[in-house]
Each structure stands twice: as C-alpha cells, then as structure tokens.
Amino acid sequence: AGLSGSIKSFCDHGILSRRNPEKEIAPHDLMQLKNEVGRAIIPPGQSIIFMQPLDFMVDGLADIRDAIGMTGARLEADFQLITAEEKAIENVKQCTRNTGTKDCQVLPVPVASGEAVLSDDEKEEGVVAVDIGASTTSIIIYKNQLIRHVEVIPIGGNSITEDIRQWASLNFQSAELLKMQFGSACEPERDEHIQVSFFNGKKSKLISRRGLTFVIQARVEELLAMIAASIQTTGLAKQLPFGVVLTGGTARLPGIRDLGEKLTGLLFHIGTPEMFLSKKTLQNDQFKVLHSPVYSAAIGLLKMGLSNN
C-alpha cells in the first residue's frame, strides 16, 4: 500500500565501528548501520517507511557505491529516509485488514511512481519523476541511480476541478467531467462555448472554452512553479538531462507538457508504466487501461512489493 500526503524526507549520516576490521563487510554490517540511522532526527509520531543508503565511506575512503566485500574498521554512509505519520500508516494497514488481507508493507508513493516510469539510464544520468495525483503532487529526483530529493506538494488534480467548480458554479462531478472532456493547459486558437449538463442532466449552461482554459492554466502554472522551486533547492537543476517525467492522472491534461517546458526550461515527457508490463499484458485489450499514467503508482507499488518478498 502507498502513502503520499503525510510523508517527509530526511538525510542522515550513519557510523558503524567494526570489531573485526580485517573481516569483509557483509550485509549484516549494513543492517546494523541502518538500525542506527534516523533515531536523532525523526520527529515524534513519524516512522521510517523507506531507507536508501547513498555513498558509503570506509576508513575515510569516500564515494563508494557498494561497501560489501571491503575491509575496514569504520563504515559510514549517508542515508535518504522517508517517513510517514504513524497514524496514517496504521490507517492504511487497517484498511487492508478490513479486506481480509494480512498487514501490508506501507511504501511511499513518490518512490513507487518513479519505479514504474523511469528507466535505469534516466536514474543514472539525472531525472525528475512528478506524479500529479488527485490531492497531492509527489516529486522525486534521481541521480547516479540514487534518490536525491523527495517532496510532496498538497496540490493535485482535485484542486483544478475545485477551481472549475467555483468558476462555473457547477457541482464537483460536473466540473470533473468538464475538465476531462474539454480541459487544456494551453489557450485555444479560438473561443467556443460548451454546453454542460449538471444536476443529473436536469439543467445545463454554456461555458466559455477560453475561460475554462484560463482557470486551468492558472492552477497548473502555480503547480509547475512549485515543482520548479523544489528542483532548484537541490542544486541539481543543471544535472538532469532527462528532465521531468510527468505521470498520474493530471499528466493526461492536454498542453501540460508544453507549458511545463516553457515555464521551467527542462524537458518534459509523459511517463507510463508500460516498460514494466509484460508483452502478453500489453497485447491484451482487457489490460490496455494499464498503459495510462493513472496507474503508475499502483503498478510501482506492486513491483516494489514483489521485489521485497
């Protein structure tokens, strides 16, 4: 199961003094090192749901990707930690219990989305995966195969729908349908009026397509500015040759890719989980729906869950 809304990202440095420095470093040494990380910096009420070692250091020798098999007295590493509120974790676990499933592993949605849509080459050279979900937008940056930054912004596709609802005086369901059918992040060449039915089809009204785009574009520009600011804080903006991979339901919004490139100066493209689906699945009409960026997080969670078992 995945969490996004309550997660936070931290970096911590772990140190392990080894009793037998002439003995090769083994997986249990790394596990012991991990157990010491995060205790001093994780706030009360938060628990670690994901941990990734970054570069290792052995007896002062730095920039080591894999320390297993080396020898030394002092093993160190920087760690990327992702935490979530303990109450949120328990709520997710209780939901799975209510379905008759045993306790599940809770994983961060940003990592799952990245696993679903990013290639190893992208992770190595430098890339940002942005999953625009219903209520949140998650950002994860990879460089040298490692997670360098994680952030969750409390704005998503529902924020756009709510703006449309207020502007057009519609109910939420009608505003969502209007967004899905006629929404765009780029202004149309000419204006036209759309007849929109609402309140179970008993009433209708005319909506300006140009006005609709103006409302959508304003919210999307705000979100893109926040994404760009998040990337800038890392100092990695010029080290991301693969740019930004957009996924999630709102990635289907026409014009969002072009607007993203215009506002950020980075390359944008839409990411789908196709690379992790079997040829048999891709060829089956029944599963064509899974090609959509809507299902990236779900497929990423499944992939991570299977790899952890």
pLDDT tens track, the chain, 309 positions: 787 777 888 889 999 999 999 999 999 999 999 988 887 788 888 899 999 988 899 999 998 989 999 999 999 999 999 998 999 888 888 888 888 777 778 889 899 999 999 999 999 999 999 999 999 999 999 999 999 999 999 999 999 999 999 999 988 998 999 999 999 999 887 888 888 876 666 678 889 999 999 999 999 999 999 999 999 999 999 999 999 999 999 999 999 999 999 999 999 999 988 766 666 665 666 666 677 899 898 888 888 877 766
The pLDDT assigned to 99 comes to 80
Q: What is the pLDDT of residue 284?
A: 64
Q: How far apart are CA 146 and CA 140, in angstroms?
A: 10
Instruction: Give the per-residue pLDDT at 188.
Output: 81
- In which residue are the tokens 């949120």 written? 88
Question: What is the rounded distance in angstroms from the CA atom of residue 224 to the CA atom of residue 220?
Answer: 6
What pLDDT was estimated at residue 97? 84
Check: CB of residue 236 under 8 Å from CB of residue 148. yes
pLDDT of residue 288: 67
Contact 309, 153 (CB under 8 A): no
Sheet of 146-153: strands edge to edge? 146-153, 137-143, 127-132, 244-247, 268-270
Model confidence, pTM: 0.86
User: Which tokens in the block code for residue 48?
Assistant: 């670690």
Q: What is the pLDDT of residue 222?
A: 97
Residue 50's contacts (CB-CB under 8 Å, 6 or more residues apart) are: 80, 81, 82, 107, 108, 111
